[in-house]
Structure 1
Amino acid sequence: MFAFVPAAVFLLLFVVGVLRDRRRFGNAVYLGLAVTSFGIGLLAGIDDAPPGVAETVMIVLLLALGIGPVVLAGLLCANGVKMVRREGRSPANLLTLLAGLGMFAVMGLAIAAALTRSPVLGVLVGTTLLVLAYVSFLFLCFVGYAYLYGRMRLRRDADYVVVLGSGLIGGRSVPPLLASRLERGREVYETLAARGGDTPVLIASGGQGPDEELPESHAMADYLVERGFPAGAVVREDRSRTTEENMLFSKELMERDRPGSSCVIVTNNFHAFRAALSARRAGVDGQVVGSPTAAYFWPSATLREFVAVFLQYKVVNIGICLTLVLFGILAWAVR
């Protein structure tokens, strides 16, 4: 029973964190630690399981550890190839392909270390696996909590609906990715308006990129108005270039017209949790909801979002990674 105490403690911290503010990466880490501790607790009590259960669990774990990485690496490479074919060869579109090839490289290095019995290769593989274990744990925390966050109930009321912009096709047309955000924003607006009270305002947030003929917010507003959305209910925030600026400049508009107002922020589902983190840092009182994204686009976009969040906490994360590397160097020095 005591084996499950850490899981209970981390679960309590998770619940308290969510009640205080849903938009914290610490919530994701507490959830991950709770699930991990629970799994360790189950394994600690495996000897008391009925006959055959322990053997079955061990076989499943060994298969997962042995075959799982190979299957995952293959799927990442396949997705990377599809991304390049459909979206082009930008660095962001190469993420899943590079991740898959990197996994195959580490597996090849591990095989080489086992065959040659090289101490140097052994330490290199061990250190690499330690760093990958830490990064993978954070990634699973990120994906798991982002999934939960995206399914939390929409707040009961809000003064604004803020739709975040993205790039335009041909410098002036709304692409499908942005159209899905706008349609989701319309749904949220109509839901809030139907609850009575003050009529909400929709803010189209997006500035003009160097290859665009007009600000994204203008194209977004035109898209909505052309499809019957009331023109007087749309405000254009046309200065922002990043998610952080989306939040800051939209907050200025909200505070100017309705001080102390709250909002619902709309983006794509893969971007929702990182946008929530940005909203919290900017001091925006807003919940973030996501719109659907094509399945093939999701893995690469999720990796990109995780990298951005990882680097937001770069002092801690890079510090821990360097500490793990230092352990590897010390292990090699005292071998």
Structure 2
Amino acid sequence: MANTKPNILLIYTGGTIGMIKDFKTGALRAFDFKNLLKRIPELNLLDCNIDTVSLKKPIDSSNMNPEYWVKIAEIIEKNYGNNDGFVVLHGSDTMSYTASALSFMLENLAKPVVFTGSQLPIGDLRTDAKENLITAVQVASLQHRKKPVIKEVCLYFEYKLYRANRTTKINAEHFEAFASLNYPELAESGVHLKVNKEYLFKPNLKKKLVVHKKLDKNIALIKLFPGITEQVLQSIFNTPNLNGVIIETYGTGNCATEQWFINALKKAINKGIHIINVTQCSGGSVIMGHYETSNQLKKIGVISGKDITTEAALSKLMYLIGQNIPDKTFKTSYEIALRGEMS
């Protein structure tokens, strides 16, 4: 690019970070991102050029869905050649889902896509929005020899940069809302911005960006609990057009060993439904066969999610089913880390 400063595109999808409080009424109203630099003049101190774009109708993140994921991916695809980095402003409730999905959809990504948001509106006296936004833009503009330092989808919140598909929202009230319990943070913001380069994702820079837009929503999530009945399980497996199921099991991937339970899973697998085993625990990994209670799952062909988060497991399942991978190789494809989402 002719311009020596990195070009960063801010993409506003909705959420608390895009709201500002009317101090007379106390009501929240949408923030006009065209006037972003006027509202946050500190952004002018960053050594980059900033442009903004918004979804036509910004949404609350509770209404986020795969159709919006495709729209965000298309914005990045359209502007990829003219920008050095992207910052996606998103509501925190479903941010880990969207950011994880984008990590799979953007194959061979060689530039930073940094998700951020806030717990308080940008105009609130105690807001965390300004710091999150300013540092997210700074992270997205980091370069070494005129090449981006970060080359993956990340999530920045409360002084820490995480790999997006390793994150989970853990708190609805604290500013430290996210955690990455199975992978170290990529960077930490203090007096200095410290980047942990050894943990950064290293894509194949010889390949061009490929944006995948086909996602299969015909999947389900089952969280096991003591007393779950055969009727409940069967009602889910009998859902028309169901192609995949994530099962949140206990501990390292354990479940009930009652015959009806194993038979229900085996029957579903024989019908072509992909079943993924992930742990209910916030941290740790599924180790199939480690205990007798998970050994039967391994024998019938349940797929190990290893240490993947539920958010990443769901979006990876949507993505891989959308790729029309043959049933014979699907298990192998799922158990391989594609974007650093599992160890």
Structure 1 and Structure 2 fold alike (TM over 0.5): no
Structure 1 or 2: more helix by fraction:
1
Question: Please, what TM-score do these two structures have when normalized by structure 2?
Answer: 0.24
Which structure shows the higher strand fraction?
2
TM-score w.r.t. the length of structure 1 is 0.24
Higher relative contact order, structure no. (Cα contacts within 8 Å, ≥ 6 residues apart):
1
